[in-house]
Amino acid sequence: MILGFFIVVFVFIKYGTLFFYSLNLNAPKSLFGPTASVWYSLALIFLFAVGILSYIVRFFWDPLLMDLIKYPLYLAVFVIVLNNPIEDAWVIFPYFDLKTPAVVFVGFLAAIYTYLFLKSLILVGKEYIRKR
Enclosing H/E stretch for 29: strand 29-30
At 84, is the pLDDT very low, low, confident or very high (cuts 50, 70, 90)?
A: confident
Instruction: Dump pLDDT digits (tens) for 26-71.
Output: 778 888 888 888 888 999 999 999 999 999 998 998 888 899 999 9
Cα distance between residue 86 and residue 38, in whole Å: 11
Q: Which residues contact 65 (CB under 8 A, 6 or more apart)?
A: 124
Report pTM: 0.83
- Strands 20-22 and 29-30, how do they pair? antiparallel
How many domains does the chain contain in total? 1
Check: CB of residue 70 under 8 Å from CB of residue 120.
no
Task: Please tell me which residue, 53 or 101, carries the higher pLDDT value.
Answer: 53
Q: Is the pLDDT of residue 99 over 80?
A: no
Residue 11's domain comprises 2-131
As a whole number, the mean pLDDT across the chain is 87
Q: Is the pLDDT of residue 87 over 70?
A: no
Closest CA to 67 of 14, 127, 26, 124: 124
Q: Is the pLDDT of residue 122 over 80?
A: yes
User: What pLDDT, on a 0 to 100 scale, did the predictor assign at position 101?
Assistant: 83
Enclosing H/E stretch for 22: strand 20-22
